[in-house]
Structure 1
Amino acid sequence: MYSAAFIFEPGTYDQRFHALDALIEEAALATPGYLGAETWRSADGARVNATYFWESEESLRAFSAHPRHLEAKSQYTRWYKGFHIVISQVLRSYGDGTIAHITPNQRKRA
């Protein structure tokens, strides 16, 4: 499993942003190997982290090459003050089993 964390500082969103954002979400959902996403905002609202989860690196690459995604990337300065991407391989995930999450819970309950 892989994750792609899109960390950004929001700017001003216009009608084109919202339309393209919806199309990108549709593209992600239609990409084989897409597992889901979760979004977090810093306490002061200055930064957002949208993390997307993928079955494989190949599925992540397929989404990265989607025309709508490429279009959004080419225009990011219209809508964001800045961004940073972190691509990670998920080696393990676990918890006490009370919080559902996209990643598998690999810890056995006692």
Structure 2
Amino acid sequence: MHVPLEQQTPPYYAVIFSSQRTEGDHGYGQMSDVMVDMASRQPGFLGVESYRDTGGAGVTISYWRDLESIRHWKENPTHQVAQDKGKEQWYAGYSLKICKVERAYSFEA
């Protein structure tokens, strides 16, 4: 059973992918949907949040139980194809950070 991210108990890891898209879709939207679906079925996957502005700048944060789960996802052959396409076609630039979440809390009015 998948536990919602808000109910996960730290520590866990966040992979922060900040990017600037190129013009046009060129299959990006479809591949993005495939990647989210595949990642959600990977052992250790906890959740994902993604935001993009009208100028093409975006941030996707995926959450993982441990560093081994992140490594397995990075090495996934279909994910590697998407990574290559990103460098060739979809991104003008990007940065990636892996962070350990020690504490997490939220508020809702």
Q: Same fold judged by TM-score > 0.5?
A: yes
> What TM-score comes out, normalization by structure 2 length?
0.76
> Is 1:78 matched with 2:105?
no
The correspondence of residues 1-110 of structure 1 with structure 2, limited to 5 A, is 1-11=12-22, 12-15=24-27, 17-42=28-53, 45-76=55-86, 77-95=88-106, 97-98=107-108
Structure 2 gaps of 5+ residues are 1-11
Structure 1 gaps of 5+ residues are 100-110
Q: Give, in angstroms, the shift of residue 46 of structure 1.
A: 4.1
Q: Give, in angstroms, the shift of residue 30 of structure 1.
A: 1.1
For the Cα contact (< 8 Å) 1:20–1:68, is it kept in 2? no
Give the match's secondary structure for 1:75: helix
* Cα 1:52–1:18 shift into 2, 3 Å: same
Work out the percentage of aligned pairs sharing the same amino acid: 25
Once residues 79 and 72 of structure 1 are traced to their aligned partners in structure 2, the CA distance between those partners, rounded to angstroms, is: 9
* Cα 1:19–1:47 shift into 2, 3 Å: closer
Q: CA RMSD in A?
A: 1.8
Give the match's secondary structure for 2:103: coil
Q: Give, in angstroms, the shift of residue 33 of structure 1.
A: 1.1
Query: How many equivalent pairs are there?
Result: 96
Letter of the aligned partner of 1:14 in structure 2? H
- Larger displacement relative to structure 2 (44-53 or 60-69): 44-53
> What TM-score comes out, normalization by structure 1 length?
0.76
Q: Give, in angstroms, the shift of residue 6 of structure 1.
A: 0.7
Give the match's secondary structure for 1:32: coil
Once residues 36 and 64 of structure 1 are traced to their aligned partners in structure 2, the CA distance between those partners, rounded to angstroms, is: 16
